[in-house]
Structure formats: structure tokens, C-alpha cells
Structure 1
Amino acid sequence: MTNTDRPAKSTFEGFTDEERAAMKDHAKELKASARRGSRADKAAEEEAAVVAKIAEMQDSDRVMAERIHAIVKASAPGLAPKLWYGMPAYARDGKVVCFFQSAEKFKARFATLGFSDQAHLDEGTMWPTSYALTQLTAANEEMIATLVKNAAH
């Protein structure tokens, strides 16, 4: 068998279509970020990109993402909205602190609110870094606001 007879080996072998799409989204985000002008322009464009991404989501995910966006902005105004692997995320000094992953994105049965290692949620020797969301109640929103406030400090 010659090289031309062998099927091309994917550099993404082992990743799902959704994971490959997320990686492509992230590459686009990095390129777009490098092209942006002033810091204020960049912040406005990144927030607009987050709002546009949320608007593209299916109804149940979109409703939750809109509420989480509002909660994060109110609870931690120092966090900057940005896209991260095609997901709405919120960063401090350019590093993602928390993000919303729609159920649709990875064909999961629930959406997720996740926190990176940049989040200040440390409590003892073990603590949660992501939360499954099926709906947002007033109690959920209050908990999210508290988590985001703590994570952002």
C-alpha cells in the first residue's frame, strides 16, 4: 500500500464532531481577537459576539444563557464577556473564569454553568467546578449570583 492508497489520518482522531467544531470556533475567536483595535472596541465586539451567540441558541438554552449573562454582568461587572470555544464566557484579565455551555452544543441532556481554575471558589480540598442546569428558578439565580461574585474576586 502506498502513501496515496492510505486514507488520510485525521489530526483530530478521537474527537466528536461537536468537539472539533468547538476547537474550530476557538481558532476563529483567537484570530478575531488578534484583529481587534482598542481595548474598548475589543470589549464591545466581544460582548456583541456573546450576545449574538446566545441569540443563535435553541429556546430553552437561549433563555438560560440570557439570564446567566444578565446575572454575571450584575454580580461581577469586572468580568468581561467573550466567546470561548464557541460558548459565552466571562473573563478576568483575559482569562476565562466562568462559561455557559448549552445542552445543544454537545448534545447533552442539560446545559452547564462551568468555572475554570481562575475562579476563586476554593473550599477545602474539593469543590464543584460545574453545575448542570435544566431550568433557572429564583433560588438557582441567587446561587449563581453568589457563585459568580465569589469566582470573580
Structure 2
Amino acid sequence: MASKDEKNLAAVLKKIDSMAEPERSLVQRTHEVIMDAAPELKPRIWYGMPAYALSASTPALITLRNDERVNLAFTEKVELVPAGGNDGMLMPAAWFFDSIDEATEKRIAEIIRRAIS
């Protein structure tokens, strides 16, 4: 019998597989970057899209949405920090992208590590 974590991962992979190209490849690679950056995260479906939490029974910290654009976002469960500088009290919480390269992968990994630290 599959564990809850295995079932949740299967659901996330099924959701990604159901997406049309080119978003499917983009979301699949982003999922891989997230899991490489923080293998302790548990993928699951959250409001119909892939998401990542610290356990199967805790709220999602990060969502990976594919609406009109691919969106990596923090949920309200992440400790958000004001950006400072020109952005003052605004708190970075979402990033939109339509392609992924090595620099973007590195930045996504940094974002993920910050979310769980």
C-alpha cells in the first residue's frame, strides 16, 4: 500500500503530466529544482495545483501554479520579510516566469531554501 507521501507525489506528477506544452516541461523542471533544493519538502496538490509542505499534514508553503503564466509563490505560512530598499515594506511572495535557464534554476533554489529556513 502506498504511503500518503507517495500518493501525494503521484498526484502532483499526474497534474504536471496533464499540462500542455511548453508549460508542462517548464513546471516539470521547476518541480525537479524544488525537490533538489529541498528534498525534505513533501509535494501535494493544493487548490488544484502542485504545492510543497514540510509534511503531509501541514499547510503548503510554496505553490507552483500554471494559470495564464507559470507562477512560483509563497503561501501565508512562509515567514515573509520586507524587501527594504526601493521596495520598502513590500514582501516578495510570487515570481512569474515563462522559461527556465541555469540562472533561473539557481534563483528558484534560493527562493525555496529561504522559504523553509
Give the TM-score of the pair, scaled to structure 1. Answer: 0.66
Which of 89, 92, 104 is the equivalent residue of 1:128? 92
2:24 is aligned with 1:62: yes
Q: Distance in 2 between matches of 1:151 and 1:41?
A: 25
Assess if the C-alpha contact under 8 Å between 1:121 and 1:150 holds in 2.
Answer: no
Higher helix content, 1 or 2: 1
Which amino acid is the alignment partner of residue 109 of structure 2?
A
Report how far residue 72 of structure 1 moved. 1.0
Give the TM-score of the pair, scaled to structure 2. Answer: 0.85
Which amino acid is the alignment partner of residue 51 of structure 1?
L
Q: Distance in 2 between matches of 1:123 and 1:138?
A: 27
Q: What's the counterpart of residue 114 of structure 1?
A: 73
Which amino acid is the alignment partner of residue 59 of structure 1?
E
Q: Distance in 2 between matches of 1:123 and 1:71?
A: 25
| Aligned Cα root-mean-square deviation (Å) | 1.7
1:132-151 aligned within 5 A: 132-151=96-115
SS where residue 95 of structure 1 aligns?
coil
How many residues are paired up? Answer: 110
Unmatched tracts of structure 2, length 5 or more: 84-88
Larger Rg: 1
Task: Give the stretch that moved more between structures: 111-120 or 60-69.
Answer: 111-120
Q: What's the counterpart of residue 8 of structure 2?
A: 46
